[in-house]
Amino acid sequence: MKLTFLGATQTVTGSKYLLTVDSKKILIDCGLFQGYKELRLRNWEKFPINPQEIDAVIVTHAHIDHTGYLPLLVKNGFKGKIYMSPGTKALSSILLPDSGHLQEDDAKFANRYSYSKHQPALPLYTEADARKALLHCETVEFGVSFPLFNDLNFEFSRAGHIIGASFIKIKKGTLQFYLPGI
């Protein structure tokens, strides 16, 4: 198993971890960078790996800094499933389309008042993009060992951060480790 940090380093937002097990690539969290402009600009950069090469996504909780990049991941070619707890899916079903709507409004406002360097200003993703990403979501209950690939399993445990927040236990054979959902 190899864990690569793709976000949330030197900052708390943009949570993305790539777990490589044998030939499988699992993305754990897929969040937007938020805050200072220099951080937000990182959302526009090319994703560090081809989204089509990712086999699955596991989400710890619904905050946008953990889920907000999912619409772009799907828009750019991710075809797999996105696993999350039922509570996380319920909140993500509200937060992701709202995020897309707000980005569309921001782009319209920037175009109307010509304050963007980009003409026309475009949203990072749209409400429709967010709804397409939600079609990839599958819920997994807390405390259930879910078989992801061959002998690779994961299990959600309650984290208490927000509704649906989870610690993730990843297990392959006798090797296991935990990732916090906060």
Query: pLDDT class for 14, splitting at 50, 70, 90?
Result: confident
Which residues lie across from 24 on neighbouring strands? 21
Q: Average pLDDT, stretch 94-115?
A: 94
What percentage of the chain reaches a pLDDT higher than 70?
98
Phi, psi of 84 (to 5 degrees): -160, 165
Query: pLDDT class for 119, splitting at 50, 70, 90?
Result: confident
**For residue 57, is pLDDT > 80?**
yes
Question: What pLDDT score was predicted for residue 11?
Answer: 76
Question: What pLDDT score was predicted for residue 60?
Answer: 96
Q: Average pLDDT, stretch 19-40?
A: 90
Pick the CATH number of 2-179 from 3.30.70.890, 3.20.20.70, 3.20.20.80, 3.60.15.10: 3.60.15.10
Q: Which helix (H) or strand (E) holds 142?
A: none
Q: Among 27-31, 60-64, 116-120, 145-149, name the one with the lowest average pLDDT.
A: 116-120
**For residue 9, is pLDDT > 80?**
no
Q: Report the C-alpha dihedral over residues 2, 147, 88, 33, rounded to 10 degrees.
A: 20
* CA atoms of 91 and 95, how far apart (whole Å): 6
Does the predicted TM-score (pTM) go above 0.85? yes
* CA atoms of 59 and 137, how far apart (whole Å): 10
The burial class, CB within 10 Å (0-12 / 13-18 / 19+), for 43 is buried
Query: pLDDT class for 81, splitting at 50, 70, 90?
Result: very high
* Domain boundaries, given as residue ranges, for the chain: 2-179
Question: What pLDDT score was predicted for residue 109?
Answer: 92
Question: What pLDDT score was predicted for residue 150?
Answer: 85
* CA atoms of 134 and 100, how far apart (whole Å): 12
The secondary structure of 75-98 as a DSSP string is HTT--SEEEE-HHHHHHHHHHHHH
Q: 56: which 2 tokens? A: 């699955």
What percentage of the chain reaches a pLDDT higher than 90?
74
